[in-house]
Structure 1
Amino acid sequence: MDWGSILSNTLAWVISPETIAYALAALGLAVHFGYGGLLNFGMAGFMALGAYGYAISILSFDLPWWAGIIVGCLASVVFAFILGIPTLRLRADYLAIVTIAAAEIVRLLFTTQVFDEFTNSADGLGNYHAGFRAANPIPEGIYGFGPWELNANQWWVRIFGILLLAVAALLVFLLMRSPWGRVLKGIREDEDAVRALGKNVFAYKMQALVVGGVFGALGGVVLALPSAVVPSVYVTSLTFFIWTILLLGGAATVFGPLLGSVIFWVIMAFLSNVLPALVKADVLPFMSSTQASTLRYVLVGVALMLIVIFRPQGILGNKKELTFVK
């Protein structure tokens, strides 16, 4: 096996757009679940709205790229209100069911041909990159070394994504150390006690849903920056991957989602390279290369179960912070 190539392909994912996008979405989920106790299984819907809001505003309405990002975030805010007003009074398990359904409804709306003029239905959207790339301050050329040897546009996507992620992490850090954040964590622990103190629990939950949803939308934008927006990406498994990242790094932490995303994608990239190589080397003669590539999802699922059983607080988390392990 070519271990040099495997290692190079794996390390490239440390700062990939997917790693950054999923870290942003996991940070939003940390606000929802880790700090607010909201069992949201619809983060894929927020990411889809961010990506489609960005692409549609550029292609159909000829808005600048930065305005497209704002439109994507506003779309997630509207979705949060539509989702939250009837559901935030539900018990956690019912909220989870509703959010899964809501995210799937969003994906199907982008797939249907009713809005084909704007969404291009199942084929998705592309060719909206000109404005963002024109704003690239990096001169044309190839920069970096080893697995991180990239052209100017590739670096621009990564640098912009990392800047968004840094700002989002700083905001969460400051919010959770503010009075608002302390009330939100109190709601997670015992919302009846917080309500007895005169706080509007519903309003705080709604605010948390909006804030976390905006981070999810930004994750969707970063995911859309280097490629295309295709509805088949925003399926339920995407949300489950984000949950895996959150639980791996630590739910009630700021830097846990960032660390979890890097570890998750490095492991996924390593397995996607090494498992087919093992098949070709006859180490796994009973499998095809396609089956070996699929096996990585099985291994990730097993890893998630082991994390929840043996270290539910994650790598950086505090076990006392998680309600579901008390």
Structure 2
Amino acid sequence: MDTFETLFTRVTAEIFSPITAAYALAAIGLNIHFGLTGLLNMGQAGFMLMGAYGFAITTIAGWPLWASVLAAVGSAVVFAVILGIPTLKLRGDYLAIATIAAAEIVRLVGRSTALTDVTGASNGLLGNAFKHTFIGASPFGEGRLTIGLWTYAISASNSWWLRLVGWLLVALAALLVWRLVTSPWGRVLKGIREDEDAVRSLGKNVFAYKMQALILGGVMGALGGIIFVLPQAVQPDSLGRPVTFYVWTILILGGAATVLGPVLGAVLFWVSLSLITNVMEMVVPSSFMTDPQIENFGWVIVGVTLMVLIIFRPQGILGDRKELAIDVR
């Protein structure tokens, strides 16, 4: 019973963990890019890293919490404009290549030893250097709190306070997307996704709408980047190419062009991975497979499962195949 309770506690903790919330925010942003507008953005991790750096660097410099959050949002906006001006006229694979290259540039610049005093280079920025303003903003006390089976600090970095803020942001982002989907602006984005030439023939500035979508989705990614680094540190390699592919997986799993698809996908993705790895750690002898090997094997199983999902239900769990921006057949 104790073993089952431990397993249940670990797995269900992923439902409301900060990492799950961070990926849900990033996937909501990607949903604006791809699900609504049809932009094949393969650089969402770049927006997350820009947000993380913008928040951490300004906090270390002594800025208050609200100003650091605005700096993170502003850095995502600037990155979106710089990225969008030369690339938004590209279509399909060309845009995907350009965006993944841009995200890699952000990561490599963050790793540069020339910016060690600013970004920490490959070592990154330690969490204790930039978490104090967020912790200080908590209206709750110190110590630890147990709710049900889960016990966390009340206001520290990996805390109930962070979980509350993270999932409140997810709820607000999902509400915003819902309003956008039903608005004239959202309908124009869907028209661009289906046939941008037809939308352009109606007198709409397609480039401007694409830029707005890129900026808005990038801001969501930047907010996800802040939530992602608050429990740990800002390390450029932790927000590299794999993160973008995880966000895409989450979006496709839950269903693109849906309001709650990215949220459901994030929860299922991390719960499934936690379930697989924890069960294997309990039943597989360490002499046969080490913990790192079990973790890697867990990714393999998740990957194969998602391949099967793409083959038999490419629209995802909540999605509608008619809403797909590309034909996956």
Distance 1:30 1:51 in 2: 20
Match of 2:136 among 122, 134, 137: 134
* Residues 95-138 of structure 1, C-alpha deviations (whole Å, 9 max, x = no match): 11111111111001000111111111111112211111111111
2:285 counterpart (252, 257, 280):
280
Asked whether 1:16 is paired with 2:21, we answer: no
Shift of 1:277: 2.3
CA distance in 1, matches of 2:255, 2:235: 30
Alignment match, 2:274? 269
Q: Report the AA paired with residue 313 of structure 1.
A: Q
Which structure 2 residues correspond to residues 18-33 of structure 1 after superposition, within 5 A? 18-33=19-34
1:173: how far off?
A: 1.1
The partner residue of 2:160 within 151, 155, 158 is 155
1:9, 1:264 → 2: CA distance? 14
Distance in 2, Cα, partners of 1:147 & 1:229: 30
2:110 maps to: 110
Alpha-carbon separation, structure 2, partners of 1:120 and 1:249: 36
1:40-80 CA-to-partner distances (Å, cap 9, x unmatched) read 11000000000110000011x21012211111111011111
Q: Determine if contact 1:111/1:122 at 8 Å carries over to the other structure.
A: yes
Match among 298, 301, 305 for residue 300 of structure 2: 298
How far 1:323 moved relative to its partner?
2.6
**What is residue 79 of structure 1 aligned with on the other side?**
79
Give 1:146 deviation, angstroms.
4.1
Q: Deviations over 1:251-292 (max 9, x none)?
A: 10111111111111111111221222232288xx4x443322
**In structure 2, what is the Cα distance between the partners aligned to 1:163 and 1:289?**
34
Question: Are 1:228 and 2:239 matched, yes or no?
Answer: no
**How far, CA to CA, are the matches of 2:146 and 2:109 in structure 1?**
41
**What is residue 199 of structure 1 aligned with on the other side?**
204
Cα contact 1:57–1:63 (8 A) shared by 2: yes
Higher mean C-alpha deviation, range 272-281 or range 153-162? 272-281
Matched-pair contact (CA < 8 Å) for 2:110–2:236:
yes
State the one-letter code of the partner of 1:316.
Answer: L
Amino acid of the structure 2 residue aligned with 1:95:
L
In 1, the alpha carbon distance for the partners of 2:135 and 2:68 equals 14
Equivalent residue, structure 2, for 1:171: 176
| Number of equivalenced pairs | 322
Matches within 5 A, 1:309-324: 309-324=311-326
Q: Is the 8 A contact 1:9 1:147 kept in 2?
A: no
Distance 2:110 2:94 in 1: 25
| 1:96 aligned partner | 96
> CA–CA distance in 2 between the matches of 1:118 and 1:67?
18
In structure 2, distance between residues paired with 1:232 and 1:272 = 23
Secondary structure at the residue paired with 1:242?
helix
| Cα-Cα RMSD | 1.5
CA distance in structure 2 between the partners assigned to 1:187 and 1:25 by the alignment: 22
C-alpha displacement at 1:239, in angstroms?
0.6
- Match of 2:258, SS state, is coil
Read off the aligned partner of 1:134 and give its amino acid letter: G
CA distance in 1 between partners of 2:80 and 2:298 (Å): 33
Identity %: 54
Question: Is the Cα–Cα contact under 8 Å of residues 41 and 99 in structure 2 kept in the other structure?
Answer: yes
Which consecutive segments of 4 or more residues in structure 1 shift more than 6 A? none
Counterpart of 1:14 in structure 2: which amino acid? I
Q: Which residue of 1 aligns with 2:213?
A: 208
Q: Tell me how far apart the structure 1 counterparts of residues 295 and 211 of structure 2 sit (CA, whole Å).
A: 40
| Alpha-carbon distance in structure 1 between the residues aligned to 2:292 and 2:166 | 31
2:133 partner letter = G
Task: Compute the displacement of 1:86 (Å).
Answer: 0.6
**1:150 counterpart SS class:** strand
Q: Name the aligned partner's letter for residue 310 of structure 1.
A: F
